[in-house]
Amino acid sequence: MDSAAVEAKGYQPIKADLDRLNNMNSTTDVLREITNLRITGSGGALFGMGVGPDRKNVIKYIPNIGQGGTTLPDRDYYLKDDTRSTTIRNAYKNYLQKMFALVGENATTAAASAASVLKIETTLANAQMTRIQMRNPNATYNKFAVKDLTATTPNMNWAMILNDSKIVGADSVVVGNPAFLKTANDMLTSVPVQDWKSYLRWNLIK
């Protein structure tokens, strides 16, 4: 590997993608960019998604939609207030700031971007099931018709999301944590687009 050439290029290879994310101006833009990052292998923002055997009808495959969207290993890293957890969160925030600085943001903007990411990820973590809760196979199997899931989370057009994700022909999905998706749905309108820009830029950077 020509490491010197890599260092010389800096963040230029992803600059066009960062600029595109910075031009988002609507909830639809946010959803489409989340899908774009996923299908290009550049991130798994907001929720988890994949296709696998239907656990209650294993001869068929079905889209599975789960909680996700966070960077640290577990929800507790965001929510616990013990010394170890606080130290890790502070180190993560400093790391975020440094990474945003490496893609050209000044100190003030990088700090604001880091705060936006941490706020979004903490909200998502708070909506996630615990590891113990996820051990219950019945609690994590919630089958929805695509149109019914969209009715439950009206800011998320699942027919559009699945189509943009190159998943065609699915009329139903399995949701691991419906309450998490309701939180994500509400966040799409309660969180300013400017904060989503920082969050999705981070998903690309990392």
The answer to whether the Cα torsion of 69, 74, 75, 78 is positive or negative is negative
pTM above 0.85, yes or no: yes
Rg (CA), the chain: 18
The CB density around residue 113, as the number of other CB atoms within 10 Å, is: 25
- Rounded to a whole number, what is the largest CA-CA distance in the chain? 54
pLDDT at 206: 92
Q: How far is CA 3 from the centre of its chain?
A: 30
Tally the residues of the chain.
206
Comparing CA positions, the residue from 142, 135, 130 lying closest to residue 54 is 142
Tell which phi-psi region holds residue 166, choosing left (phi > 0), alpha (psi between -120 and 50) or beta: left
pLDDT in tens, 23-78: 999 999 999 999 999 999 888 899 999 999 999 999 999 999 999 999 999 999 99
